[in-house]
Structure 1
Amino acid sequence: MNNHAEQTFPELHDGILNSLNNILQPIPYFKHGGNQALNNCQDEYDTFVMAKFTCDNPQCSKRGWRSGKVTILIRGYQDNGYHAVVFNQRCERCNQLGALELDQPSYIDRVTYRLKKWAGFNMGTRSLREKKETPPHKSHLCEGCSRGYCELYRGQL
């Protein structure tokens, strides 16, 4: 668990490759680097993943929360490169950043879907049955919103 405003998960790259099942060539890679290296992306898309959070503030009475609307920003690079960053949320009681525990299957699903879409695969539309009902997104507690990404979400994947 980590209390940073944003996190990357390069350790989940093998799960993404397994999910893609060798359908993309060249083989996708996770692009590492600082802001300058990451700015030359060809594509950019933000959406949501799921996660659990705990509040580590000993004076706070909120133990934790779940969210189905955790902002993820996926950037696409030449030759199927990608970089994905997940934005943290703040505790609604004490405003401290939560400790994020990512739902790995939702992350792998979203990144895989986006890589296929950018590669030109016809992904169709996801049915409403696949979307789970979640509480309203609390923009004032979301690091993705505070950086201007969530408003780009248009209810599509």
Structure 2
Amino acid sequence: MRTLVTGGVRSGKSAHAESLLADAPEVAYIAPGPRYDDGDWADRIAEHRSRRPASWTTIEDTDLPRALAGVSGAALVDCLGTWLTARFDDLELWERRDWQQPFGEALDAAVAAAERHLGDLVLVTNEVGLGVVPEHRSGRVFRDALGWTNQRFATICDDVTLVISGRTLTL
């Protein structure tokens, strides 16, 4: 079973995603985003870790296909937005006008890895398409790339859930 959980920042999507795997005997929690060196980010990570069972393993790897290939059972990826940021950083795409092709290749590889994963898979992402057009180019590129990412992963998922204000809606 593959599930995509989307929603806004602090909507409750991570807690909902975690609840979907609460009965799994083992879960690999994949954190595919960049690491930030600030107290707010550290607090957010600590909050997420405190909710997860001690039996869950954490894999911090920005190479999502590699991380998924190393897991045979249930996996939770949190989140595709931070994975996208790491890919753009690693590929130096933020200022490139031709970002679609190199990012598209990274996206193809990640989607294929998710399709090959044999265990239950829950993917968390951010919904950024409901707001205003960002003023800065990097914001517009992020919004467009994440919308593209969300659509691609949704096509391979059995369920897509939108979380708003802690409430879930199956799409």
The TM-score with structure 2 as length reference comes to 0.26
Going by fraction, where is strand more abundant, 1 or 2?
A: 1
The TM-score with structure 1 as length reference comes to 0.28
Bigger-Rg structure (1/2): 1
Going by fraction, where is helix more abundant, 1 or 2?
A: 2
